[in-house]
Amino acid sequence: MKINQLEQIELEFEILIQKDRRNWLRVAKLLDQIESTQLYKLRSRSFTEYVKGLADKNRINISTLWRARSGAKLYLEILGMQQLSELDESVVKTTPEQLETFSKVRTIAPTKIVEEVKTKMLEGENMRHELKELWHIYRPLKGGKTERGRKKEGSYVIEDKKDKTQFVVPYNLKNSIENEHVEDNSIDRYWEDLKKMEKYQLSSENLARANILNALRSDQWLARTLNVDFCSKHEHLIAFNLAAFTSIDILSLCKAKKEDTLRPVVIGAHILTEINDLNKERQKIIKEFGFCDYFYLAIPLNNEYIIKVEEFIKKYPSIGIICVGDTVGEDTKHICKIYKLAEPNVISSQNEYIIMQKCMERLLGWA
């Protein structure tokens, strides 16, 4: 009797793979049924060995099956359900790939962002690109640590303390009563973020860098810079390497209007989260500025930072100032405010050639 039951499940599985591979939740349900009833023992010594054989038989990658299974379990957890049988395949609108990236993003990104992403994902919005961007921005904060707090062997670890980033805590602890995060979000979210900071030993300055990067994913600051309602096209390039001597924290290529036929406008931003480093980085900032049509210093929304940066740019009036606080908008990006608009800068023909060459190499994946 059991062998007939297993054969029937395997037949349905084969049909799913051939005719309806997108129905990943049904695949997960079938795997769960085989494991929970221990039907796999009729074919293999372990469930893992059985799944490998099932993948080989149907000529699919075994990771596809494990991703479907783990995605279904995460989906259950998100909805607060216990059994896969409670889920209706026709209602589930996300994908295992999105759920997999979400499971990583939620371990380190600010809770307000995580909850907004989760809501949109459950509603069926395609969050694949959004999740990848968030993971790219916040992943370095983990410093190579796993969820148990250990570092993965061979993983990338940031050694430069200045290159880390900051969380949703006040830039100055004595101002905590006025902290917008506490006003706009629940205390539960606040403590969730504090736990992440403690777990990964993050400083407020460190997480501020990630939050500023997250804010600059928006195209609104680009549109304001170019004095248009919205940019026809834009592409953000994070940690853009110009050469061995310098890099730009975020470089954006913009096409303000569809009818524009000239090269893209180059808008760069240098992120500054430790105000005492301003004079130390003077030469680096000036070099970056020379490669951009418009250039900004992106800083925390804090009066001390603003005053010192204003003093710094008196010699370079074309440089603009962008401020980023704790508040997250409806689009999962931190809200940025242009304190001073950048003015057009004339790029030398040599620098123009270098920037276009490096952009091409980056977009082709050669750099």
CATH code for the domain of 255: 3.40.1350
- The predicted pLDDT at position 326 comes to 86
Q: Encode pLDDT of 277-331 as tens digits.
A: 888 899 999 999 999 999 999 999 999 999 999 999 999 999 999 999 988 887 8
Domain boundary among 86, 110, 126: 86
Which domain does 224 fall in, by range? 217-363
Is residue 125 in some structural domain?
Answer: yes
178-182, 184-188, 220-224, 358-362: least confidently modelled range: 178-182
Is residue 23 in some structural domain?
Answer: yes
Is residue 302 in some structural domain?
Answer: yes
Is residue 350 in some structural domain?
Answer: yes
**Bigger pLDDT: 260 vs 46:** 46
Instruction: State how far the Cα of 55 lies from the Cα of 53, in Å rounded to an integer.
Output: 5
Does the structure show a pLDDT above 50 at 156?
A: no
- The predicted pLDDT at position 260 comes to 78
Q: Encode pLDDT of 192-208 as tens digits.
A: 887 887 888 887 888 89
Q: Encode pLDDT of 221-232 as tens digits.
A: 999 999 998 888
Domain count, the chain: 3
| 226 and 328 co-located in one domain | yes
| 222 and 206 co-located in one domain | no
Does the structure show a pLDDT above 70 at 185?
A: no
* pLDDT tier at 167, thresholds 50, 70, 90: very low
| 233 and 341 co-located in one domain | yes
| 167 and 232 co-located in one domain | no
Is residue 94 in some structural domain?
Answer: no
| 195 and 105 co-located in one domain | yes
Is residue 11 in some structural domain?
Answer: yes
Answering whether pTM is above 0.95, one says no
| 265 and 355 co-located in one domain | yes
| 16 and 79 co-located in one domain | yes
What is the share, in percent, of the chain residues with pLDDT greater than 90?
A: 61
Does the structure show a pLDDT above 60 at 158?
A: no
| 71 and 137 co-located in one domain | no
| 229 and 348 co-located in one domain | yes
Q: Encode pLDDT of 18-36 as tens digits.
A: 888 789 999 999 999 999 9
Is residue 333 in some structural domain?
Answer: yes
- The predicted pLDDT at position 110 comes to 92
| 249 and 357 co-located in one domain | yes
Domain boundary among 54, 86, 118: 86
Is residue 157 in some structural domain?
Answer: no
Instruction: State how far the Cα of 300 lies from the Cα of 273, in Å rounded to an integer.
Output: 7
Domain boundary among 40, 58, 86: 86
Mean pLDDT of the chain: 85
| 78 and 183 co-located in one domain | no
| 187 and 317 co-located in one domain | no
- The predicted pLDDT at position 256 comes to 82
